């Protein structure tokens, strides 16, 4: 049974490569039962989006024109 710490490994990995079917299943199972990890999962996704945001903000209006 995967614990929270192991689940965060998969949540992090998910931002960097596609998870295998088995990884996806065990993460999904854990997230179904664990609210703090669901929050963590959202936070990792938000961090990823923050990086994209920052690049966009650097470009300002320019990014909209791309």
SS3 of 24-55: HHHHHHHHHHCHHHHHHHHHHHHHHHHHHHHH
Tell me how far apart the alpha carbons of residues 18 and 20 are, in angstroms, rounded to a whole number.
7
Measured from the CB atom, the residue of 25 and 63 that comes closer to Zn ion is: 25
Measured from the CB atom, the residue of 26 and 40 that comes closer to another protein is: 40
Q: Rule CB under 5 A: which residues touch Zn ion?
A: 4, 7, 34, 37
Per CB under 8 A, residues contacting another protein are 3-6, 8-9, 12-13, 15-17, 36-37, 39-40, 42-55, 57-60, 62-63, 65-66
């Amino acid at each position: 049974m995967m614990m929270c710490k192991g689940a965060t490994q998969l949540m992090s990995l998910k931002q960097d490569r596609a998870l295998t079917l088995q990884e996806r299943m065990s993460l999904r199972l854990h997230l179904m039962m664990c609210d703090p990890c669901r929050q963590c999962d959202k936070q990792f996704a938000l961090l990823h989006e923050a990086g994209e945001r920052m690049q966009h903000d650097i470009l300002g209006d320019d990014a909209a024109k791309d």
